[in-house]
Structure 1
Amino acid sequence: MSLITVVGLVAATLTSAAGLPQVIKSWKTKSTKDLSLAMIIQILAGISLWTVYGLARKDIALLYGQAIGYIFYISLLILKIKYK
C-alpha cells in the first residue's frame, strides 16, 4: 500500500467519522431537535454522489470513507425520525 493511499484512508476516516460525536450525543440525549433534516439529507446526497465517483475511479480510500460517513449519517437520519 502506498503512502498516498494511507494518507487517503486516514483522511477519509477522520472526515467521515466527524458525524460520530453527533450520533452519540443524539442517542444519549434522545434529542435531535437542533439537527437540520435538510443538512442530513444533503450530506447523504453528497455521500451518494462521492460513492458513484469512487466506484467509477475504483478508489478504495474514497469508497471506504463514504461507507463510514453513510453509516453515521443514516444513523442520524434514523434518530432524527425516531426522536421527532
Structure 2
Amino acid sequence: MFIIIIKTSLHSGDQVATFKELLDIDTGCRIKSWSIDLDDGDKVLRVVAMFDISATLLFKLRLSGIECAMMGMFAGAILYP
C-alpha cells in the first residue's frame, strides 16, 4: 500500500466533485480511500492506493487546472484492525 500526500489549490466542494469524477474514471480500482482537507491551509489530498499512482494524480490535478505539489509518500503494509 502507498499513502500519497499532495498539497493542492482545491478550494470548493465543486472542484472536489470534479476531481472525484476524474479519479473514478481511471484510478478507482487502485485507490482504497482518499480524502481532501479543505480546512487545512495546504488543502491536503491524502490517497491510500495499491500502487504508486502519484504521477497520475499530479497529472490529473494539473490537467484540471489545479495547482499541486507532492508533499510525501509512504510505502508499506497498512494493518487494519
Normalising by structure 2, what TM-score?
0.30
Could you state the TM-score of these two structures normalised by the residue count of structure 1? 0.29
Q: State the structure with more CA Rg.
A: 1
* Higher share in helix: 1
